[in-house]
A and B are shown apart, each in its own frame.
Chain A
Amino acid sequence: MSGAAPPDSVAELVNAAKMATLGSLVAGVAHELNTPLGALNSNHDVLKRALERLQGILADEVVEPHELDEVRRIVSAVDGVMRVNDLAVERMVTLVASLRRFGRPDLADIDHVDVRESIDAALVIVKHELRGGIVVERDYDDVAPVECYAQEIGQVFMNLLVNAIRAIDAEGRITVRVKHADECVRIEVEDTGCGIAAEHLGRIFEPGFTTRGGRIGMGMGLPISRQVVDRHGGRISVTSEPGRGSTFTVDLPYTLQTGGNAQ
Chain B
Amino acid sequence: MPDRTTPTILIVDDEEMVLMALRSFLELETAYRVVTSLSPVDALDTVRDERVDVIVADFMMPAMDGIEFLRQARDIRPHATRILLTGYADMRNAIRAINEAGLYHYLEKPWDNDRLKLVVRNGVERSSLVNELDSRITALESANVELLEIRSRLIKAFL
Contacts and interface: CB of A to CB of B under 8 A. Distances in A.
Contact of B14 (A39, A83, A91, A132): A132
B94 interface: no
Given A42-B110, A46-B113, A77 B24 contact: yes
A38 B22 CA distance: 10
A76 B23 CA distance: 11
Contacts of A43: 21, 24
A11 to B, nearest CB: 36
B62 A42 contact: no
A194 interface: no
Contacts of B14: 132
A31 B23 CA distance: 21
Q: What 8 A-B pairs come out closest when comparing CB atoms?
A: A38-B110, A132-B62, A80-B24, A77-B28, A39-B21, A84-B20, A39-B17, A38-B109
In this complex, the interface size class of chain B, counting residues with CB under 8 Å from chain A, is: 20 to 34
A42 B88 CA distance: 18
B24 A84 contact: yes
Interface of B: 14-18, 20-25, 27-29, 60-63, 87-88, 109-111, 113
B87 A31 contact: yes
A199 interface: no
B110 A41 contact: yes
Interface in A13-67: 31, 34-39, 41-43, 45-46, 49-50
A138 B61 CA distance: 22
Q: Is the interface of A mostly helix, strand, loop or mixed?
A: helix
A81 interface: yes
A133 interface: yes
A32 to B, nearest CB: 10
Interface of A: 31, 34-39, 41-43, 45-46, 49-50, 73-74, 76-78, 80-81, 83-84, 87-88, 91, 131-133
Contacts, number: 75
Given A80-B23, A81-B21, A37 B110 contact: yes
A132 B21 contact: no
A38 B112 CA distance: 9
A82 B21 CA distance: 10
Chain B facing A: main interface SS: helix
A76 B110 contact: no
B27 A42 contact: no
Given A38-B18, A77-B24, A84-B21, 11 more contacts: A34-B87, A35-B109, A38-B109, A39-B15, A39-B20, A42-B22, A42-B113, A49-B29, A80-B27, A84-B20, A132-B60
Contacts of A31: 87-88
Contacts of B110: 34, 37-38, 41-42
Contacts of B25: 42, 45-46, 77
B21 A42 contact: yes
A48 B109 CA distance: 20
A84 B25 CA distance: 12
B27 A132 contact: no
A111 B16 CA distance: 37
Given A132-B14, A132-B60, A38 B24 contact: no
B150 to A, nearest CB: 54
Contacts of A39: 15, 17-18, 20-21
Nearest to B27: A77
B87 A35 contact: yes
Nearest to A35: B15
A255 B77 CA distance: 64
B29 A76 contact: no
Contacts of B61: 132
Nearest to A44: B113
A137 B88 CA distance: 27
